[in-house]
A and B are shown apart, each in its own frame.
Chain A
């Protein structure tokens, strides 16, 4: 469905030192540097897959999404989405995709969302019957029946985001590009959005690429993740395998009925946190069973769970690893 080979997107950026003198000089003599937003990434995505794009700020995630949706032209490389070359922006291609950006909105600000839906219906040339069916379905699933008649400016951020999603799905796209769709939403609204996106993917077999800083979004929606860092692809595979690679240790969470000395806990494994009757131990995978039996026999345990390390920690460790590797590579280059 999506194939990207050797994608590069470089920007020419004007750079000048601070100060009035430099500003005046730059009026006549400008120096440019090339910023490598994306620097040679390749991947393939099958129809119906849900893939998470992860990476720190400025990693190149949004740039890649914009190249895939035809908004930006690649500097180099080959990109195809369902057989189309995105930069050509053919109507047939644009009718198959949608891009939702959590920080930008397409809803007409002064009018009710229903007017934007109607406008999109005309633009995408959606047949009346299909439009009615889709709208009824979206209104039901997203619970926006009471909202679509109110002016957009009177809606809360979460309500607006649900309507944004509905506006972007009126034409039943087959490829969804979601750029931080849950940003700024409260926990329950995030959960609603996730459930809806997953249902849509399963019902219509739509392919989905998601970028999000909320790891819960990624964990709930994306069995596969692609990690981009400084424009380079640093991981492509299952989320589970990523966690295993970066943080193979498991977390054993113990709930204790009475206060236990830290030294007793440390004898079982690396103590991560210990507060208010809860202790979290980090242990190697092959030592999990032994740790559990020792804990159950020697400590006042009321409840016990085994978890992976939080995804946020896994990601920051991965980014730190990447950074250290880059620094090392830079130092090894002879001056």
Chain B
């Protein structure tokens, strides 16, 4: 079973790689776009920290770790999650989801692995580069435990991001056009470039609560950065693991229910 799905993933990855190479101009444009994304992620940080040494207890070097996580996850989102799942919306609109549902394999797996953008791996590498630069600025390295915890959190963050996307595209089974929802999601994800405590002063801390429990951006970037710095409370780690598992479970249930609502476009 696992071997079969791994082989399927390999074939889907190969097809995505071939698609990326199919158009030469697109291939280079995508690479250039990835580079620009990194600079847009860093620019606001430089602006804010040019006039103050720290924000809500986060020094520039520490905040850079959060941006590193943001860049890395953005690479995963834009490269591995977003292309496939926005394809689902198109499938539903055109009725070609029929072909996915007719295949003897898990439909969620098939739609989630149908498209990858290999160039977005550049963001992931840049994220890693930012970690190194941040620790150089901080004049120390992460503890082995901190590194291990942050690796675990990389898994939970990816699961969270993926689950949130599944929930978003599941709406397409009911409302057909979810472009606005996906734009909204991408815009909200942008907040994840900041340590979650910077939102403490907004609406009496309500925004921090929202970004921790409702749309758990804090779990995705702030928690892993804190883990790297060795200051993440154990309870938060447990919360991140349980929270991501809960989100994945809910997303799976919603997806299965949504498929039942699929009416297929007429011929």
Pairwise interchain contact B267-A111, C-beta atoms closer than 8 A: no
Compute how far the CA of A151 lies from the CA of B19 in the bound complex, rounded to whole angstroms. Answer: 10
Smallest beta-carbon distance B244→chain A, Å: 28
Compute how far the CA of A106 lies from the CA of B102 in the bound complex, rounded to whole angstroms. Answer: 11
Pairwise interchain contact A111-B19, C-beta atoms closer than 8 A: yes
Pairwise interchain contact A99-B98, C-beta atoms closer than 8 A: yes
Q: Is B94 an interface residue (CB 8 A)?
A: yes
Q: Is B105 an interface residue (CB 8 A)?
A: yes
Q: Is A29 an interface residue (CB 8 A)?
A: no
Q: Is B104 an interface residue (CB 8 A)?
A: yes
A11 partner residues in chain B, CB cutoff 8 A: 263
Pairwise interchain contact A101-B98, C-beta atoms closer than 8 A: yes
Within 8 A of A (CB), among B99-130: 99, 101-105, 110
Write the A89-127 contact mask toward B (1 if CB under 8 angstroms, else 0): 101101101110111111010110001001110111100
Pairwise interchain contact B99-A106, C-beta atoms closer than 8 A: yes
Within 8 A of B (CB), among A146-180: 151, 179-180
Pairwise interchain contact B98-A62, C-beta atoms closer than 8 A: no
Pairwise interchain contact B7-A66, C-beta atoms closer than 8 A: no
B260 partner residues in chain A, CB cutoff 8 A: 73
Contact A104 B19, CB 8 Å, known A122-B11, A123-B105? no
The 7 closest A-B pairs by CB, nearest first: A94-B104, A106-B99, A91-B104, A122-B11, A62-B267, A95-B104, A110-B22
Q: Is A69 an interface residue (CB 8 A)?
A: yes
Which of B101, B263, B266 meets A89, CB within 8 Å? B101
Pairwise interchain contact A180-B267, C-beta atoms closer than 8 A: yes
Question: What's the interface size class on B, roughly?
Answer: 20 to 34
Q: Is A23 an interface residue (CB 8 A)?
A: no
B18 partner residues in chain A, CB cutoff 8 A: 111, 115
Compute how far the CA of A99 lies from the CA of B98 in the bound complex, rounded to whole angstroms. Answer: 9
Q: Knowing that A123-B103, A179-B267 are A-B contacts, what are 17 other residue pairs whose CB atoms are under 8 Å apart, sorted by A's residue number?
A: A66-B98, A66-B264, A69-B102, A91-B104, A91-B105, A92-B104, A94-B103, A99-B98, A101-B98, A101-B267, A102-B267, A104-B95, A104-B99, A118-B11, A122-B4, A123-B104, A180-B267
Q: Which residue of B lies closest to A69 (CB)?
A: B102
Cβ contacts A to B, 22 pairs, < 8 Å: A66-B264, A69-B102, A70-B101, A70-B102, A71-B101, A71-B102, A72-B264, A91-B105, A94-B104, A95-B104, A101-B267, A102-B267, A104-B95, A104-B267, A108-B15, A118-B11, A119-B15, A123-B8, A125-B4, A125-B104, A151-B22, A180-B267
Q: Is B158 an interface residue (CB 8 A)?
A: no
Contact A94 B102, CB 8 Å, known A104-B95, A104-B267? yes
Q: Is B12 an interface residue (CB 8 A)?
A: yes
Q: Which residue of B lies closest to A211 (CB)?
A: B267
Which of B15, B22, B267 meets A103, CB within 8 Å? B267
Pairwise interchain contact B104-A111, C-beta atoms closer than 8 A: no
Which of A95, A102, A122 meets B7, CB within 8 Å? A122
Compute how far the CA of A37 lies from the CA of B23 in the bound complex, rounded to whole angstroms. Answer: 43
Q: Which residue of A lies closest to B94 (CB)?
A: A104
B98 partner residues in chain A, CB cutoff 8 A: 66, 71, 99, 101, 104
B267 partner residues in chain A, CB cutoff 8 A: 62, 101-104, 179-180
A89 partner residues in chain B, CB cutoff 8 A: 101
Q: Residues of A with Cβ closer than 8 Å to B? A: 11, 62, 66, 69-73, 89, 91-92, 94-95, 97-99, 101-106, 108, 110-111, 115, 118-120, 122-125, 151, 179-180
Q: Is B96 an interface residue (CB 8 A)?
A: yes
Compute how far the CA of A62 lies from the CA of B265 in the bound complex, rounded to whole angstroms. Answer: 11
Smallest beta-carbon distance A275→chain B, Å: 37
A66 partner residues in chain B, CB cutoff 8 A: 98, 264
Pairwise interchain contact B264-A119, C-beta atoms closer than 8 A: no
Smallest beta-carbon distance A86→chain B, Å: 10
Smallest beta-carbon distance A113→chain B, Å: 12
Smallest beta-carbon distance B27→chain A, Å: 12
Smallest beta-carbon distance A21→chain B, Å: 23
Q: Which residue of A lies closest to B8 (CB)?
A: A122
Smallest beta-carbon distance A47→chain B, Å: 21
Contact A62 B266, CB 8 Å, known A115-B18, A119-B15? yes
Smallest beta-carbon distance A62→chain B, Å: 5
A119 partner residues in chain B, CB cutoff 8 A: 11-12, 15
Smallest beta-carbon distance B121→chain A, Å: 20
Pairwise interchain contact A111-B103, C-beta atoms closer than 8 A: no
Pairwise interchain contact B19-A108, C-beta atoms closer than 8 A: yes
Among B12, B99, B262, B266, find the residue whose CB has the most chain A CB atoms closer than 10 A.
B99
Compute how far the CA of A101 lies from the CA of B102 in the bound complex, rounded to whole angstroms. Answer: 12
Compute how far the CA of A91 lies from the CA of B103 in the bound complex, rounded to whole angstroms. Answer: 8
B104 partner residues in chain A, CB cutoff 8 A: 91-92, 94-95, 123-125
Which of A104, A120, A179 meets B96, CB within 8 Å? A104
